[in-house]
């Protein structure tokens, strides 16, 4: 069921904060458990989408961001490091 327009951002923010916590754990080696193939693909897309939102807002507001990082590559790197012995 899609989010209703009056709570779309609020509901998504809760889920996004959980995803941020999971990525922080992955990056800081807390659980040492890499993401599954499906979760890795979704994490990469989520990171690209979040960056796209930032670029959209900056462009519309007349702000510039110097470089566009490869979010998928970064997520892949952290996941690979979590899987390393």
Measure the CA–CA gap between 2 and 44, rounded to whole angstroms.
22
Q: Classify 37 as helix, strand or coil.
A: helix
More confident residue, 8 or 5: 8
- Over residues 32-85, the pLDDT tens digits come to 678 999 999 999 999 999 999 999 999 999 988 887 888 899 999 989 888 886
The structural domain count of the chain equals 1
Q: How far is CA 79 from CA 35, 52, 59, in A?
A: 6, 21, 31
Domain that holds residue 17: 4-83
* Helix, strand, coil share of the chain (percent; to 5): 70, 0, 30
Whether the predicted pLDDT of 12 surpasses 80: yes
pTM score over 0.85:
no
Nearest of 3, 20, 18 to residue 78 by alpha carbon: 20
């Amino acid at each position: 069921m899609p989010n209703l327009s009056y709570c779309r951002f609020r509901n998504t923010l809760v889920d996004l904060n959980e995803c941020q916590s999971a990525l922080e754990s992955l990056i800081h080696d807390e659980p040492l458990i890499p993401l599954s193939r499906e979760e890795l693909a979704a994490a990469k897309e989520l990171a690209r989408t979040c960056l796209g939102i930032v670029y959209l807002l900056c462009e519309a507001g007349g702000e510039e961001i110097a470089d566009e990082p490869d979010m998928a590559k970064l997520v892949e790197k952290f996941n690979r490091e979590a899987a390393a012995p």
